[in-house]
Amino acid sequence: MSAALDKMELISQRTLPALDAETLEDREAKEALFRDGDRFILYLTDGAPPPLCGERLIPLSSRQALLWLNETQLDAGSFWA
């Protein structure tokens, strides 16, 4: 197996303020962009404590990864929809 297939690289991460709709608790949602060879993967977590946290992995194209990296603070969190 090639070394390139064994390595996943963290490109960027950010924390977003969030509000739980049911409890009105403040949370910190997290987003992280990883690169795995030619692929990009976006990891999202809603900030709830385990095991209740909502997590998602979203495969992104190079274009989508660039869009995510260049989002303004007002646009941050757009991949949650």
Question: What is the model's pLDDT at position 53?
Answer: 82
pLDDT exceeds 70 at position 48: yes
pLDDT exceeds 70 at position 23: yes
Res. 57 pLDDT band, cuts 50 70 90: very high
Is the pTM higher than 0.85? The answer reads: no
Taking the C-alpha atoms of residue 10 and residue 24, their distance in angstroms, rounded to an integer, is 31
pLDDT exceeds 80 at position 13: yes
29's tokens: 């949602």
Please state, as a whole number, how many other Cβ atoms lie within 10 Å of the Cβ of residue 40: 21
pLDDT exceeds 80 at position 21: no
Question: What is the model's pLDDT at position 73?
Answer: 73
β-strand partners of 9:
35
Residue 41: burial class (beta carbons within 10 Å; 0-12, 13-18, 19+)? middle
Q: What is the CA radius of gyration of the chain?
A: 14
